[in-house]
């Protein structure tokens, strides 16, 4: 295996990425391989990466070590972290769907709070000086009055769903480990992501996928959604990984940073934008089964803190995100259709 | 087995007490057997009760069903709750030591937050209409400025140790389950307990035990403590179980209640009170190893809410608590000494 840093005689730093096989994991690895050449990348996930949304030439993956593991398997995680001795840990692994967390709250809690605790407690016991980036969520804020938008980091947290509770607990643990055990942890409260490769369990991806199917004539011109009135702040995954890279290297220890676009968009307005952009007329059908027991009407964040401290700001317009997501689903459904019709044989 | 309610032809309600084998569990069972005669008592714990501090005649324990189980064994808990179909669940099971939580934070989290979540999620899935009392802690508040004492329930929570984080997460989950799934849950934030039978891992019990040993001449007149300057609000366990009984039957769904004495006492002042009460002069030695990474200097609660809503207030003077704890340790050390010297053979 060629380790590029060694070839250059540089000191080779190691990064461990949990949940590497996911949507953000793929984009972050893509970011690292195009922006850094002195990092040994280790990834942990329950399943091997099968990213179909980033193009990474295989030779650039030489520094990539994949470890198949369940983060609730504490002895295995201990062994891995002891062996790797990472300089950085980007903890992306999460069960990050609010809707799923209402269906399986125990699973959601185990696969958010507990897995994070297992990681940082291993770092503590191992006396490993790794810099840890803990990913949190805008859901931690709960329901915020209109006058208090956009939300800043000093706002008290009032989680309103099982996923949000798990994320609040994770952040409290991060704070305690930074303050009480002197671990080098920095936290985000990341707002809704969008971008190519996100599963259609998330709303923007689900809507765009339906538009692609309508355009291909394989779905009637009806868009099925949950609550169309709720407003969320969507930030492009490419901007997100840029922020994560900055925070891993320069974020202040023990601090929490919003990562958001600063713009609120109602779900039904996203449908209007797509409808006009693609010149496709659609009806909207709100599925009762997708309405959640409690839902935040409006979530809009402020990115002033990370802008002030690290100079980060969102750069990708929402329409550009929608286009790249459209392109992704268009290609993917074409590939699937080819496979089904046997054209690839 | 004689079920007393049945004999009387009354409708027999069932209560499930988790962590029944513990300190509060024993006192609560004692309370129930002396105050209620129409309750079928089920208890869950990892170990059988061996209370040496409450006198319950065995015939009164006829209604007591003990189930040995680990609350993290989800299939077993499901089966038990399905079988028992409790009307009330008093969830006492907890790893409730702040000091231990700094040493084994993962264990503390699993045995506070996760076990509670397992219980309430089983109630949810089982569609069981049980009234649940979730026990929380004054530690949830974190460090509170002097001017804001005594602490009322509307104060934002800022947990400062792993145990407190676990309790905050537990309460958030209770709130989500009450609001989002319509479960009948009521919460406490219980302040420091004292009373006969508490282990010497807790400060008042540890201090009184040392005084008993000094009085018996088996310890030098030096009291070993951690940080003597911290102030806590100690409420007698007999008052606590009285409050739990009231909250189980009359507490408002989804609400949180402080249970406290309203009085703050510095640890070193407790030593002074005992020294004067027992006329034993002691030196105080602060053990550095017992000082915690972060500690709240002063915790004093307000019990106005539970007083207003349910008429509860603390009734047992602190000096009376100290006397009963002294009597407990005196008896227990005497019994242990007899056993060691073979006098009981």
Confidence of residue B297 (pLDDT cuts 50, 70, 90): confident
Confidence (pLDDT) at B113: 96
**Residue A121 pLDDT exceeds 60:** yes
- List, for residues A174-231, the tens digit of each pLDDT value: 999 999 999 999 999 999 999 999 999 899 999 999 999 999 999 999 999 989 999 9
Question: Which token pair is A47?
Answer: 């399943």
B58 versus B256: the higher-pLDDT residue is B256
Pick from B106, B165, B176: CB nearest A172: B165
Q: Is A11 exposed, middle or buried (0-12, 13-18, 19+ CB in 10 A)?
A: exposed
**Contact between residue B264 and residue B233 where contact means Cβ atoms under 8 Å apart:** yes
Q: Which of residues 168-197 of A touch B (CB under 8 A)?
A: 168-169, 172-173, 176, 179-181
pTM of the model: 0.89
A17 versus B292: the higher-pLDDT residue is A17
Confidence of residue B136 (pLDDT cuts 50, 70, 90): very high
Mean pLDDT score of chain A: 90
**Domain B4-194+234-259 fold:** Rossmann fold (3.40.50)
Q: Is A81 exposed, middle or buried (0-12, 13-18, 19+ CB in 10 A)?
A: buried
* Three-state SS annotation for chain A: CCCHHHHCCCCCEEEEEECCCCHHHHHHHHHHHHHCCCEEEEEEECCCCCCCCCCCCHHHHHHEEEEECCCCCHHHHHHHHHHHCCCEEEECCCCCCHHHHHHCHHHHHHHHHHHHHHHHHHHHHHCCCCEEEEEEEHHHHCCCCHHHCCECCCCCCCCCCHHHHHHHHHHHHHHHHHHHCCCEEEEEEECEEECCCCCCCCHHHHHHHHHHHHHCCCCCCEEEECCCCCEECEEEHHHHHHHHHHHHHHCCCCCEEEECCCCCEEHHHHHHHHHHHHCCCCEEEECHHHCCCCCCCECCECCHHHHHHHCCCCCCCHHHHHHHHHHHHHHHHHHHHHHHHCCCC
| Contacting residues of A for B118, CB less than 8 Å apart | 106
**Residue B236 pLDDT exceeds 80:** yes
Confidence (pLDDT) at B338: 84
Confidence of residue A345 (pLDDT cuts 50, 70, 90): very low
- Chain A residue closest in CA terms to B167: A169
Note whether B114 contacts A: Cβ–Cβ < 8 A.
yes
| Contacting residues of A for B172, CB less than 8 Å apart | 159, 165, 168-169
Confidence (pLDDT) at A291: 72
- List, for residues B207-234, the tens digit of each pLDDT value: 999 999 999 999 999 999 989 999 999 9
Q: How many CB atoms lie within 10 A of CB B247?
A: 25
Q: Between β-strands B231-232 and B265-266, what pairing exists: parallel, antiparallel or unpaired?
A: antiparallel
- List, for residues A143-167, the tens digit of each pLDDT value: 999 999 999 999 999 999 999 999 9
Mutation choice for A interface testing from B114, B125, B172, B181 by most A CBs within 10 A: B172
Pick from B102, B114, B176: CB nearest A165: B176
Confidence (pLDDT) at B144: 93
Q: Between β-strands A265-266 and A231-232, what pairing exists: parallel, antiparallel or unpaired?
A: antiparallel
Given 3-state DSSP classes, what are the helix, strand and coil percentages for chain B, each rounded to the nearest 5?
45, 20, 35
Are B74 and A159 in contact (CB < 8 Å)? no
- List, for residues A37-77, the tens digit of each pLDDT value: 778 999 999 988 878 777 666 555 545 788 999 999 999 99
Confidence (pLDDT) at B53: 76
Pick from A109, A121, A173: CB nearest B165: A173
- List, for residues A84-115, the tens digit of each pLDDT value: 999 999 999 999 888 899 999 999 999 999 99
C-alpha span between A126 and A129 (Å, rounded): 9
Question: Which token pair is A214?
Answer: 């309508």
Question: Which token pair is A129?
Answer: 């000086």
Q: Which of residues 117-136 of B touch A (CB under 8 A)?
A: 117-118, 121
Domain A4-194+235-259: state its class.
alpha beta
List chain B domain ranges: 4-194+234-259, 203-231+263-296+317-338
Q: Which of residues 196-215 of B touch A (CB under 8 A)?
A: none
Are B121 and A114 in contact (CB < 8 Å)? no
**Residue B3 pLDDT exceeds 50:** no
| Contacting residues of B for A179, CB less than 8 Å apart | 160, 293-294
Pick from B74, B159, B172: CB nearest A165: B172
Mean pLDDT score of chain B: 90
C-alpha span between A313 and A248 (Å, rounded): 16
Most confident range (mean pLDDT) of A124-128, B44-48, B205-209 is: B205-209
Give the residue-averaged pLDDT of A292-307.
89
Are B179 and A110 in contact (CB < 8 Å)? no
Confidence of residue B11 (pLDDT cuts 50, 70, 90): low
- Alpha-carbon distance B256 to nearest alpha carbon in chain A (angstroms): 15
Please count the residues of chain A: 345
**Contact between residue B336 and residue B218 where contact means Cβ atoms under 8 Å apart:** no
**Domain B203-231+263-296+317-338 fold:** UDP-galactose 4-epimerase; domain 1 (3.90.25)
- Complex ipTM, two decimals? 0.87
**Contact between residue A237 and residue A324 where contact means Cβ atoms under 8 Å apart:** no
Pairs of residues, one from chain A and one from chain B, whose beta carbons lie less than 8 Å apart: 84
3-class SS at B68? strand
Note whether B113 contacts A: Cβ–Cβ < 8 A.
yes
């Amino acid at each position: 295996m060629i380790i590029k840093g060694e070839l250059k005689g540089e000191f080779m730093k190691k990064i461990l990425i949990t949940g590497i096989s996911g949507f953000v994991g793929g984009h972050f690895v893509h970011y690292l391989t195009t922006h850094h050449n002195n990092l040994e990348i280790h990834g942990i996930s329950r399943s091997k990466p099968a990213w179909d949304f980033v193009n990474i030439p295989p030779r650039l993956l030489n520094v990539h070590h994949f470890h198949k593991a369940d983060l609730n398997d504490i002895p295995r995680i201990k062994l891995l972290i002891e062996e790797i001795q990472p300089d950085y840990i980007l903890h992306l692994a999460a069960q990050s769907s609010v809707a799923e967390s209402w269906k399986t709250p125990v699973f959601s809690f185990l696969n958010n709070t507990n897995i994070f605790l297992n990681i940082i407690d291993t770092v503590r016991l191992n006396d490993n000086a790794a810099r840890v980036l803990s990913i949190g969520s805008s859901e931690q804020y709960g329901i915020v009055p209109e006058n208090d938008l956009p939300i800043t980091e000093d706002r008290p947290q009032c989680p309103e769903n099982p996923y949000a509770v798990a994320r609040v607990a994770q952040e409290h643990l991060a704070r305690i480990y930074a303050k009480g055990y002197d671990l080098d942890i920095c936290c985000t409260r990341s707002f809704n992501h969008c971008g190519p490769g996100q599963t259609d369990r998330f709303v923007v991806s689900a809507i765009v996928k339906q538009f692609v199917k309508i355009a291909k004539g394989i779905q009637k011109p009806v868009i099925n959604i949950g609550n169309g009135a709720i407003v969320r702040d969507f930030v492009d995954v490419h901007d997100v990984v840029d922020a994560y890279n900055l925070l891993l290297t320069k974020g202040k220890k023990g601090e929490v940073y919003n990562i958001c676009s600063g713009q609120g968009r109602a779900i039904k307005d996203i449908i209007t934008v797509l409808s006009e952009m693609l010149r496709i007329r659609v009806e909207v059908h709100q599925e009762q089964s997708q309405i959640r027991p409690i839902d935040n009407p409006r979530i809009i964040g402020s990115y002033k803190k990370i802008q002030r401290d690290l100079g980060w700001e969102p750069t990708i317009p929402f329409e550009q995100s929608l286009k790249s997501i459209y392109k992704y689903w268009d290609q993917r459904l074409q590939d699937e259709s080819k496979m089904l019709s046997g054209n690839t044989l």
